[in-house]
Chain A
Amino acid sequence: MKKAKPLVLIVDDNSVNIDLLVNTLKKDYRLGIAKNGTTALEYTDKHLPDLILLDIMMPGMNGYEVCTRLKAVTRTRDIPVIFITAMSEAGHKTRGFEVGALDYITKPFHAAEVKARVKTHLALKEAHDYDIYIASKIQKTLLLGSPPRDIPGIQISQLTIASQKVDGDFYDFFKHSNLCFDIVVGDVMGKGVPAALLGAAMKSHFLRVLNEQLRLSGKKELPEPAKIISSVHSGMIDQLEDLETFVTLCYARFDMSKYIFSFVDCGHMRTIHFHDDLNTCSLLRGVNMPLGFPEKEPFRQISVQFKPGDLFVFYSDGLTESKKVNGSLYGEKRLVDFIQANARVEPENLIKSIWNDVTAFSHSETFDDDVTCVLIKIDKEPLSTVFPDEGRLEIMSDLKELGRVRSFIREFCAKIDDSVLDDKRLNLIELAATEVMANIIKHAYNKRSGEPIQINARMSADEVVFEFFDWGQGFDPESVPEPVFDGSHDEGFGLHIITHFVDEVIYSHGDGGRNCACLKIKLTGGN
């Protein structure tokens, strides 16, 4: 990955030793020199060397202390440190390893040995860096899903800061319709490539389970989150046990037609739910163990109602466990308080200010763990005004108008997402409307043209309703004989078609001799 020669920092107070080391290494490496502990720390902070050769006995800050300080800071903790010392007793060596040194070279040293050890540790470091590079690539490309942008009534914004160690945070979104989507946020225990790969495997397993269960139900019924988790768990438990790891996660569904949030929490961070009307936050936690634990109980799903203006905050432990230098944690309480105070800020800006608050707290922009945070804000305007829709068509009784009625229906339904109302179903609804119209003209108005027909259309989050009004002869569906299907009759199929291709048909008679045929089409729960 690096094109320049590796940078090696030599820390020693003795000029003779420095000269020896410089002569040994100058051909192969760029070199930095520090004659005491303080300079060494400053140099490291500024130049981030690839390896440090560190003398133990120095005036002022000794080598152990320098090493301890390097290991306490996220950005410098992974720099390999090799102690160089005249002291060869086992006790010193042990202490060196305890404070985080990787290796020891005892004076007087041989040039060949110094070269060999430096080379070996740089190669190991490079391999380790490459690991992290691959893991962070996996994370960026496979672990983090992009949020659906086109769901009316919500705003989503997210933040992800990969740590230097990549720990398998993942999240994804599954859009089922304009009114329903799922989010999964998870965290694989462990770090680096194994955690990243397992996170990616988990994510694809969710997709697979969703698809399988949808297919099994004939695409009619969305599997409940608890059922999805249960299938993912049984599909992954052997692998998780083999890898001796586990995954905490929260799988949640937003049902915008009913304003219900249903979730299965498996030992993940508590989701924050800000209630706009009450100006309070509640913390949502489930009762399930993380995936990978041998679960005996069925996974429990919890549902809560939400309201326009509410906000949901999903996050990983990297956020709440970001640390100050003195070791104190950012913590859930501080996050909740921050959300409470700023919940009405636009999500894009809110997520930036969360990040600013965390970095201001930790005085650092690098973290031990990945930091992920996803905000889902429910629009203040309720969804019914997002679909504000009513429509009306007034026409005369004439079979030539059938095409116009179908166009009216198609245009009225155009704003409904294809996943809720696909083209085929729309065709069949147009067909049902054609039958209603033809019945009115043929029977209610006895084929007279020029009589009034009015169609009112309205749409809510979960249904579309078309009402056909006429002022002709009333119609009683009970009086219609059963259709004959043996080819002998070429009439009498109309009502049969209508009742089959919409979800509900209601005939009624109102004041002033007005008849109504009301067709209802459900937008939730399949056809």
Chain B
Amino acid sequence: MELSTEKIGDVTVVSVLTEVLDASNTEEFKTGFASILNESNKLVFEMSHVKLIDSSGCGTLLYCQKQLNKLNGALKLCGVQETVRTLFELIRIDRVIDIFDSKEEALKAF
């Protein structure tokens, strides 16, 4: 899975370039995340390509946030599609991870 990164100040914006984040590719995602984690502890996941995410994908996002918190960093999300957002609301991810409409708003929040 491709994760493209862009450094803006001390924040790294990670574009999640997959339509699906489910049990079939969360391990791959975690590997990609680990290499980014070496460079930055303030991340924005740009999610607009992701049409479907399952509980495993959600678990992975929570895992990422926990890792960043340990490094005194933070995770923010932006560009979340409607179906994905519905799931986030169901399992309250939206209360645990900050979600913004746009990348700019997410960047401002650090």
Using a CB–CB cutoff of 8 Å, the interface residues on chain A facing chain B are: 399-403, 406, 424, 427-428, 430-431, 434-435, 438, 441-442, 483, 485-487, 489-491, 493-494, 496-497, 500
Contact = CB atoms under 8 A, between A and B. Distances in A.
15 contacts: A403-B24, A424-B82, A427-B52, A431-B83, A434-B54, A438-B55, A483-B91, A485-B95, A490-B58, A490-B62, A493-B58, A493-B91, A496-B90, A496-B91, A497-B90
B62 to A, nearest CB: 4
Interface in B63-98: 63, 65-66, 82-83, 86-87, 90-92, 95-97
A434 B52 contact: yes
Contact of A497 (B23, B66, B87): B87
Given A399-B22, A402-B20, A428-B86, 19 more contacts: A402-B23, A402-B24, A402-B54, A403-B24, A424-B86, A431-B87, A434-B22, A435-B54, A435-B55, A485-B92, A485-B95, A487-B62, A487-B95, A490-B60, A490-B62, A493-B58, A493-B91, A496-B90, A497-B54
A506 B52 CA distance: 24
B91 A430 contact: no
B22 A487 contact: no
Interface residues of B, number: 26
Contacts of B32: none
Chain A interface secondary structure, helix, strand, loop or mixed?
Answer: helix
A497 B96 contact: no
Contact of A424 (B20, B22, B58, B83): B83
A430 B62 contact: no
A434 B97 CA distance: 23
Interface of B: 20, 22-24, 51-52, 54-56, 58-60, 62-63, 65-66, 82-83, 86-87, 90-92, 95-97
A402 B62 CA distance: 22
A483 B92 CA distance: 11
A498 B52 CA distance: 14
A442 B56 CA distance: 11
Contacts of B92: 485
B97 to A, nearest CB: 8
Contacts of A496: 90-91
A490 B23 contact: no
B84 to A, nearest CB: 9
A115 B57 CA distance: 90
A493 B87 CA distance: 10
A491 B59 contact: yes
A405 to B, nearest CB: 10
Nearest to A423: B83
Contacts of A434: 22-23, 52, 54
A431 B52 contact: yes
A94 to B, nearest CB: 77
The 10 A-B pairs of least Cβ separation, nearest first, read A487-B96, A490-B59, A485-B92, A493-B55, A490-B62, A427-B83, A399-B24, A438-B23, A434-B54, A493-B91
B91 A497 contact: yes
B83 A428 contact: yes
Given A427-B83, A434-B22, A487 B90 contact: no
Contacts of A487: 62, 65-66, 95-97
A316 to B, nearest CB: 46
Contacts of B59: 490-491, 493
A438 B25 CA distance: 12
B23 A403 contact: no
Contacts of A428: 83, 86-87
A259 to B, nearest CB: 34
A485 B88 CA distance: 11
A486 B91 CA distance: 9
B55 A497 contact: yes
A483 to B, nearest CB: 7
A445 to B, nearest CB: 13
